[in-house]
Amino acid sequence: MRLILRNVAARLGDDGSLVVAASPDSLARQPWQWDVRLSREPVGQSQDYVGAGIGRHHVCVRVDDAHVSAELLTQTFDDPGTERQTVTIGRPADELWLAVVETGTFRHGHLEVAPGDVLVWEGGDPVGIDITATSDERITVALVILRRTDGQSLRWVP
């Protein structure tokens, strides 16, 4: 599954933060396992969060350590030059990846992606993430990698 949320960072609520993805999306289905939040300000140091908020959009991740582990990192892609070559990143099909675009614009498949957009990849579509720069600005994304602790595939239905 591939999902794009357009310009999410511009829609932060009155409290200055917004959950962009969580599992489950309804607590009536099963117990909470993880969530990813954008915040206007860093959330501060807390054992609940994998990070206090990276990037200009302050991406924050919480997980139930008994079920899910998470990595939170910044990924940068230098401008490939005037030829606009495509960079392909391999993503394991058993992981869920969420990227918040911080700087730069690029094409991913037929999607034009810009700062403030959020991309989510889950399952086998796609396992090869193609990124083609559409401007001269360096592409930077805050990347969240979620995986189940029992080694099974992490699945999510938004």
Query: Rounded to a whole number, what is the distance in angstroms from the first to the last CA of the chain?
Result: 10
Condensed to tens digits (0 to 9), the pLDDT of residues 28-37 reads: 667 889 988 8
Global pTM exceeds 0.85: yes
Q: Do the domain assignments include residue 80?
A: yes
**Residue 9: pLDDT above 90?**
no
Number of domains in the chain: 1
**Residue 70: pLDDT above 70?**
yes
Q: Do the domain assignments include residue 154?
A: no
Q: Do the domain assignments include residue 142?
A: yes
CATH number of the domain at 47, please.
2.60.120.1030
21: domain range?
2-148
Q: Do the domain assignments include residue 76?
A: yes
Name the more confident of 105 and 56. Answer: 105
Q: Do the domain assignments include residue 46?
A: yes
